Homo-oligomer: A and B are copies of this chain.
Amino acid sequence: MSVLMGTAKAGLKPSGRTDLLVVYSEKPFLVSAVYTKNHFKAAPVIYSKRLTDRRTHFRAFVVNSGNANCGTGKEGLRHAEMMAERVAQNFGLEPEEVLVFSTGIIGVPLPIERVLRAIDEACSSLGPLDLRRASEAISTTDAYPKYAEAPLAYGFGKGAGMIHPNMATMLAFVFTPVKVDFETLRRLHLEVNERTFNSITVDGCTSTNDSFLVLSTLEGEADPADLKKDLYSVALSIAKQIVADGEGATKVGVVEVLKAESEEKARAIAEKIATSLLVKTALFGADPNWGRIAAAAGSAFDYPIDPDRMEIYVGDFLLFKDGRPAGTDLERVAEFMRTHKEVPIRVVLNEGDASWTYYTSDLTYDYVRLNAEYTT
């Protein structure tokens, strides 16, 4: 493995845990990056996006956790630049070959001197990339590290919703050794992103720092279809780990919309169901409440459904068909929901061949506690 990492402590986390990660490759990475669409972007997102908009090859990236460097004005942008410069100095690179990411509290200036010293320390303690330790170094309120491997790809991430007072961000870095041109990597990346990180929801909120990178070390040949399969598998695993770690979550709802006339429609309806607070609380309460699922499915206003053709399942239990309840024993369905951590919710529109899957967490007391009680 030609990818190396180093970690250090800059003292950004109240816990005092490792909060700085540097990843370095002796061969240049071919990089495809996607960032949050939020217009209130953190400084490192603005900084790194400018670079990935005009270059495709990089040698290193640095991530600090515990501070998002967001809402910090011009000083924040200068801090992001200084972080890149310091990594470059350590490795004898140009600053443009280094990307920068941050995650944590919004609106607090970085203690930049401590961060720069930690960068020096991380750069001087390089070892092989360890997915688990890399995830731990960039975690904030995550309950556990998030990483996954497949034959042609491997990666790590962090995120548990945009939780805690001002805590934010989902970050994911997926690597592959496969030699591929930029256009192909970009296409695979965007396709995989739509079906993974862009199809999960914890609280419906879009962070100021969200970033997902695919980095190739361009070492060996493989069929792009095989590469896509493994990028998808790794990204989906990390995405589902994020949902399962959603603030206070006890369950993952897998919302499938099937036999739709278009992917756009399947996706819009799946998103409505996955983000419905009534569906999310019913998931928490193990309540097979098909009325809430039907009402959410009907609320994608641009995509009319035909209630008379729609079928609704929870697990394999048919709950609604022909415009009325299917007469299933709801107590058995509730028992299924109580005893399964992952609950499939299927809406079959019976009008075409398109489908989409969205992953959601349940809405619990702990969600309210985490987000209301931990005040600044």
Contacts and interface: CB of A to CB of B under 8 A. Distances in A.
Given A294-B40, A368-B281, A368-B368, A73 B322 contact: yes
* Interface band, chain A: 35 or more
Interface in A281-337: 281-282, 284-292, 294-301, 303-305, 307-308, 320, 322-325, 330, 334
A372 interface: yes
A325 B285 CA distance: 40
Contacts of A289: 165-166, 375-376
Given A282-B372, A368-B365, A371-B277, A287 B39 contact: no
A144 interface: no
Interface string A240-283: 00000000000000000000000000000000000111100110
A371 B40 contact: no
A296 B38 CA distance: 8
What secondary structure prevails in chain A residues at the interface with B? loop
Given A38-B299, A298-B41, A307-B39, A291 B372 contact: no
A150 interface: no
Contact of A295 (B207, B298, B365): B207
A268 to B, nearest CB: 12
Contacts of A368: 281, 284, 363-365, 367-368
Nearest to A206: B299
Contacts of A330: 376
Q: Which 4 A-B pairs have the closest CB atoms?
A: A40-B298, A106-B291, A285-B372, A281-B371
7 contacts: A107-B324, A205-B292, A208-B294, A208-B295, A208-B298, A285-B374, A365-B369
Interface of A: 37-41, 70-75, 105-107, 162, 165-166, 168, 203-208, 275-278, 281-282, 284-292, 294-301, 303-305, 307-308, 320, 322-325, 330, 334, 363-365, 367-369, 371-376
